[in-house]
């Protein structure tokens, strides 16, 4: 099994679109499933931290490399 159940590519989109699309994607998952998000917006780091704490979903991983950001969120 992979480290995630669904992948969302929001590269090239700016706030608030990555969060809006991530909210829709994670709502479609079952409890315990993991959403992997790929983004390019530098603001997405703080956005996804806030999103996780506000929604109760768990931010398992946040990684940055080469101007791209990767997040793994576990649905509460």
Q: Which residues are catalytic?
A: 15
Is 57 in contact with 74 (CB distance < 8 Å)? yes
Kind and range of the H or E run holding 24: helix 17-27
Angle in degrees, CA 69, 70, 72, rounded to 5:
150
């Amino acid at each position: 099994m992979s480290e995630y159940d669904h992948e969302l590519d929001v590269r090239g989109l700016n706030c608030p679109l990555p969060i809006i699309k991530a909210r829709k994607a994670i709502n479609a998952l079952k409890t315990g499933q993991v959403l992997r998000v790929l983004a390019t917006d530098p603001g997405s780091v703080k956005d996804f931290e806030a999103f996780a704490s506000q929604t109760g979903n768990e931010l398992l991983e946040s990684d940055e490399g080469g101007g791209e950001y990767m997040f793994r969120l576990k649905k509460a």
